[in-house]
């Protein structure tokens, strides 16, 4: 008979959360199907029901959950998991999907499992990934694992139409202070499933410049508005221009095309 020394159990290993996920794979599949069953087509983009579903999933876990919305029909959810340092890794996933025509589907667009595959509108883009992020939160909590950095999860609305109620609202409120971000959307072309580094965003700008007119015989007395615009463009190029992202050798196999 083993002696009870009263010692604390050994700390969780780095692999413990992954082992938990593998051991509870069927629950992850069920969670994915639960999320697919909620129609979040955008438009209209109503995500109240799926956010409530996620809140119920997270309720038993020792994590901080905050609902944030500027449009009551399109709430966002922030989940914070404390780590061992003051650095923060942000995980982002959107809850809305593009609309669907059920008659055009050979499977149930609101979720169907066939053997080892899950079908449905949003299975890839991106409720499958959202389910994986949620299950990662549970795995960390269940195994009492302390992440090496703080983890911040942002489950957002209004992505499919580029609306202002989702990620832009969180950014405007300055709620997403992080050192790096992972977006879990796995949409990719067939045969290309590598991790993509630094997917480009876009900035839309309207520039206006005023000048000062001068007589054609003395143009140096005036100010050319086009020159001012050119200077502004050069300034933006210097500030927002492309930068090469150097990747460590051990990371290259998962990011190279």
**Which tokens is 89 given?**
């890794």
Could you confirm whether 39 is annotated as catalytic?
A: no
Contacts of 25 (CB under 8 A, 6+ apart): none
Positions of E strands within the chain: 64-68, 76-81, 88-94, 112-114, 117-119, 150-156, 180-183
Could you confirm whether 46 is annotated as catalytic?
A: no
Helices 128-142, 48-58: axis angle to 10 degrees equals 20
Catalytic residue among 53, 96, 158, 160: 96
Separation between Cα atoms, residue 36 and residue 127, nearest integer Å = 7
Q: Are 204 and 142 in contact (CB under 8 A)?
A: no
Helices (H), 98-185: 128-142, 167-172
Catalytic residue among 46, 150, 158, 159: 159
- Give the residue numbers annotated as catalytic, written as ranges: 96, 159
């Amino acid at each position: 008979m083993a002696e009870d020394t009263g010692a604390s159990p050994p700390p969780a290993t780095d692999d413990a959360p992954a082992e938990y996920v593998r051991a509870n794979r069927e629950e992850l599949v069920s969670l994915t199907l639960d999320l697919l069953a909620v129609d979040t087509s955008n438009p209209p983009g109503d995500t109240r029901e799926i956010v409530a579903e996620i809140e119920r999933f997270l309720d038993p876990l020792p994590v901080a959950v905050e609902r944030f919305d500027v449009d009551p029909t399109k709430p966002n959810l922030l989940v914070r998991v404390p780590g061992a340092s003051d650095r923060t890794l942000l995980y982002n996933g959107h809850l809305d999907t593009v609309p669907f025509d059920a008659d055009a589907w050979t499977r149930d667009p609101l979720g169907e499992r066939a053997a080892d595959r899950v079908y449905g509108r949003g299975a890839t883009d991106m409720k499958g990934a959202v389910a994986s992020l949620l299950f990662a939160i549970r795995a960390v909590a269940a195994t009492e694992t302390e992440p090496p950095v703080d983890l911040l999860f942002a489950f957002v609305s209004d992505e499919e139409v580029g609306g202002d109620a989702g990620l832009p609202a969180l950014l405007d409120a300055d709620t997403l202070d992080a050192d790096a971000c992972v977006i879990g959307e796995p949409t990719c072309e067939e045969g290309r499933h590598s991790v993509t580094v630094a997917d480009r965003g876009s900035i839309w700008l309207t520039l206006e410049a005023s000048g000062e007119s001068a007589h054609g015989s003395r143009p140096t007395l005036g100010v050319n508005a086009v020159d001012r615009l050119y200077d502004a463009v050069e300034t933006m190029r210097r500030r927002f221009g492309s930068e090469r992202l150097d990747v460590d050798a051990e990371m290259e196999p998962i990011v190279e095309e």
